[in-house]
Amino acid sequence: MSRPKVTIIGAGMTGSTTAHWLAARELADIVLVDIVEGMPQGKGLDLQEAMPIIGSDVRIIGTNDYEDTAGSDIVIITAGSPRKPGMSRDDLLHINAKIVKSVAEQAIKYSPDAIFLVLTNPLDVMTYLTWKVTGLPHQRVIGQAGILDSARMRTFVALELGVSVENVHCYVLGGHGDSMVPLTRHSNVAGVPLDKILPPDRLAAIVERTRKGGGEIVSLLKTGSAFYAPSAALAQMVEAILKDKHLIVPASAYVDGEYGLSGIYFGVPVQLGRQGVEKILEYDLNDEEMAALKKSGEHVAANIKKLEPYL
Ligand code: APR
């Protein structure tokens, strides 16, 4: 049986770290693509040379040529500019739309049966653009955001309570930006809802830190944005798809009536398997939670409208 093939477009911080996670877990052969000459080849060779040490038999190459990506099972798009301090994810829209459009157009020519995973920001908008450009069924184009935002919240809760991160389950839905919606009633520690275990002021502080989690890292790094956690989230999605796990995670998916929203990509709980998004789960939300999702959906929809020049 041949090993699955994963192409990662953008061999920068998130792209190359994603390759690292995938290779270490022996999940797939990997093709790293970048516009910069030599860099993806150098990173690919360096990572390949690490494989004897960690005992993984995957093949990793770097390239500037999309022919090398032919027949990929999964194509990951991380190409684009990251945020600088003071920038919102939305500020990247026009810079990254051109890049994402061009890389998606080239990748789909060589991998018409792939599932596309998108990481480039603004996330929900770039995922929508990739769906349009590739012409794929919407179930095969998915954005990574919710696993990351939920992992940030899980981290803060685990640190606050001094419990294992494995006991903490958090669900952050909505657009990947300041309007994201951390669901405190559904999030829990070993089955106990967060709002029953944390005082309101501590819970509010964790929600706020989660919403601003990406910005916190950008202001510390000064050049570039978070990459370890975003790439770990991508690797989890790749594994769920390749192993057909039917794993339920929050991700940016095309909504068609779910949560009262339609026609946009948006952070919702999805079940992931070999065909991509198998279904979207609908939680029982109260009026306040629904209103927050609606507001977040309106924000994403307004940004998707700005894509007109690229469609
Ligand atoms: N084709 C291929 N690669 C490209 C192109 C292109 N047209 N344009 C830019 N790139 C590459 C850059 O050369 C760079 O190596 O994309 C890579 C981006 O890497 P970084 O600058 O390190 O950025 P990174 O931190 O990986 O973030 C990329 O993911 O999390 C989001 O907000 C983040 O949108 C940003 C994206």
Per-residue pLDDT tens over the stretch 271-294: 999 999 999 999 999 999 999 999
Pocket of ligand 1 (CB under 6 A): 9-15, 33-36, 78-80, 82-83, 92, 96, 99, 102-103, 119-121, 224-225, 227, 230
Q: Can you spell out the DSSP letters for 71-117? A: T-SEEEE--SPPP-TT--GGGGHHHHHHHHHHHHHHHHHH-TTPEEE
Number of Cβ atoms within 10 Å of the Cβ of 165: 11
DSSP 8-state symbol, 3? P
Q: Which atom of ligand 1 is nearest to the CA of 230?
A: 30
Looking at residue 2, its pLDDT comes to 85
* 99 CA distance to ligand 1 middle (Å): 9
Residue 33 pairs in a beta bridge with 9, 63
Contacts of 274 by beta carbon, 8 Å cutoff, 6+ apart: 241, 242, 244
Residues of the chain with CATH 3.40.50.720: 5-143
* 121 CA distance to ligand 1 middle (Å): 10
Query: Helix/strand/coil (H, E, C) string of 145-180?
Result: CHHHHHHHHHHHHHHHHCCCHHHEECCEECCCCCCC
What is the token pair recorded at 15? 């792209």
Residues of the chain with CATH 3.90.110.10: 146-310
What is the mean predicted confidence (pLDDT) over 215-224?
A: 94
Q: Kindly tell me if the per-residue pLDDT of 187 is higher than 70.
A: yes
Q: Judge whether 268 and 281 are in contact, CB under 8 Å.
A: yes
| Ligand 1 pocket test target in 17, 78, 130, 133 with most atoms within 8 Å of CB | 78
Name the class of domain 146-310.
alpha beta
| Surface-to-core class of residue 40, CB atoms within 10 Å of its CB (0-12 exposed, 13-18 middle, 19+ buried) | buried
Looking at residue 1, its pLDDT comes to 63
The correct CATH number of 5-143 out of 3.40.50.720, 3.40.50.620, 3.30.460.20, 3.60.20.10 is 3.40.50.720
pTM to 2 decimal places: 0.97
Average pLDDT, the chain: 96
Contacts of 281 by beta carbon, 8 Å cutoff, 6+ apart: 248, 268, 269, 270, 271
What is the token pair recorded at 121? 């920001």
Looking at residue 160, its pLDDT comes to 97
Catalytic residue among 20, 169, 176, 186: 176
What's the pLDDT tens digit per position in 126-166? 999 999 999 999 999 999 999 999 999 999 999 999 999 99
Residue 267 pairs in a beta bridge with 252
* 80 CA distance to ligand 1 middle (Å): 4
For the question of residue 176 being annotated catalytic, the response is: yes
